[in-house]
Amino acid sequence: MSSEIQQNYQREYRHKNREKIFLSKKLYRERNKERLKIKKHKDYLANKIRLRFQHREYYFAHKKEAQEYFKRYQKNHKQKLIQLRREWVAKNRKYVSEWQRRYRQLNVEAIAKYMEVYQQLHKVELAEKRRMYWKHHKHLKRVHHHTRILRLKEAGALTVETIQKVYEDNIKQYGTLTCYLCESPIVFGEDNLEHRTPLSRNGTNVYENLKVSCSLCNIRKRNKTESEYRLWLSKKGKNYAA
């Protein structure tokens, strides 16, 4: 009975002195901020597995409410989260670089498809960004243009007859238009005239250096030579002949 009376008294006291208790707790937290932070971290480490399990259990039991809360929090603390992310990336730059490299290697096709869709949806914005970039980097534009002209001159003329011969010989060899790297039939509109040795690596526009590839292999190959690309694929465990 005495415990019930005590509980009732405490409840009434808390109700009457709500503001006073709140201010007292706030003041205590401010004065003992570092000590409480260390204690909280120690408690977390001591109960890490149990707390993770509880958080996961709560999340799945209140999934909609949790998702709405996270959305609100991200919206209200956008700048704070950006700053925290930047600080974390700066501290873990090596780990982030390695993770990004592995992700790109394992998701080449997904990234290529995403980029293709993104470029289609944001064609105007990307064109504007390119225009603004070259506007503010005129000296680089001149260098880039001059280098491109020199490469094209060194590569020699690319004639319609040469391109036609490359395509005709590809169809004769495979029966239908086929990528010479992965040997998959090419869907109409996704064919690319491929330089076995890129122009940026002193390649030329002669017939022997030209082949037909699909868009995916063209993106993957970038400025690699044919032999470098095949070696790169074999190291990644990709079957380019499939």
Handedness of CA 122, 128, 131, 133 (dihedral sign): negative
What would the pLDDT profile of 29-60 be if each residue is shown by its tens digit?
A: 889 989 988 998 888 889 988 988 888 999 89
Handedness of CA 40, 45, 51, 52 (dihedral sign): positive
Angle of helix 2-16 relative to helix 18-31, nearest 10 degrees?
A: 80
What is the set of domains in the chain, with CATH numbers? 158-236 (1.10.30.50)
> In b/e form, how buried is each residue of 187-203, taking b as 16+ CB within 10 angstroms?
eeeebbebbbbbbeeeb
pLDDT cut 90: percent of the chain above it: 30
Query: What average pLDDT score do residues 194-218 get?
Result: 89
| Confidence class for position 180, pLDDT limits 50, 70, 90 | very high
- This prediction has a pTM of 0.46
What would the pLDDT profile of 57-94 be if each residue is shown by its tens digit?
A: 998 999 999 999 999 999 999 999 999 999 999 999 99
Mean of pLDDT over the chain: 86
Is 179 buried (19+), middle (13-18) or exposed (0-12) by CB count in 10 A?
Answer: buried
Is 233 buried (19+), middle (13-18) or exposed (0-12) by CB count in 10 A?
Answer: buried
Contact predicate 209/197, CB 8 Å? yes
